[in-house]
Amino acid sequence: MAKTKQQKFDAVKELEEKISRTKFVIFTNFDGLNVADTTELRKVLREGQVDYTVTKKTLLKLAIIKAGLKEIDISSLEGGLGAAFSYKDEILPAKLLHLFAKKHKALKLVGGIFGGKFINAEEVMKLALLPGMDELRGQLVWLVNYPLSGLVNVLAGNMRNLVYALNAIKEKKS
């Protein structure tokens, strides 16, 4: 059943709001995915707190224009278009979609909007391979902790050596 004008208007408004809230939108071509794979994809993205919307290109084009990104043209993107939005971690949708696309060859990353500019599939893949926020935080903690743990080991080593020396003197005297 065809959508009414009001339903289309509401869909454009919702997409515009999502595009305005996020820094990174990823477009996928999902042609060839069966229902089970699509359900699995939505579940994986939902667990990562990523919104995934499938819509017509014309409605998505209107939403992009209304969001103030007039220079972005998605008409060259082929096939059924899905859009992934994340509001917390910008790189997470790219990582999740990349991992899913490795297992399901039918899903293709075809482009995205990053920082208000259109990026192609190759650039999306480069971003997908970057470490996520949690990984970066872990690396930062490790970098801060490493010199401190070395200092603790050096200071503890001096104490340990003192204890060994005192034990050796005690055993020599007894």
CATH number at residue 96: 3.30.70.1730
* Burial (CB count within 10 angstroms: exposed 0-12, middle 13-18, buried 19+), residue 85: buried
Domain that holds residue 164: 132-174
Classify residue 128 as exposed, middle or buried by CB count within 10 Å of its CB (0-12, 13-18, 19+): buried
Angle at 127 between CA 125 and CA 131, to 5 degrees: 120
Is residue 66 predicted with pLDDT exceeding 90? no
Q: What are the structure tokens assigned to 119, written together?
A: 């990026």
pLDDT of 43 over the 90 cut: yes
106 and 171 fall within a common domain: no
Q: pLDDT by residue (tens digit) across 101-158?
A: 999 888 889 888 888 888 888 998 998 888 877 888 898 888 888 888 888 888 888 8
Domain match, 121 and 35 both? yes
pTM of the model: 0.73
Question: What is the spatial distance between Cα 147 and Cα 155, in angstroms, rounded to a whole number?
Answer: 12
Q: Are residues 108 and 137 in the same domain?
A: no
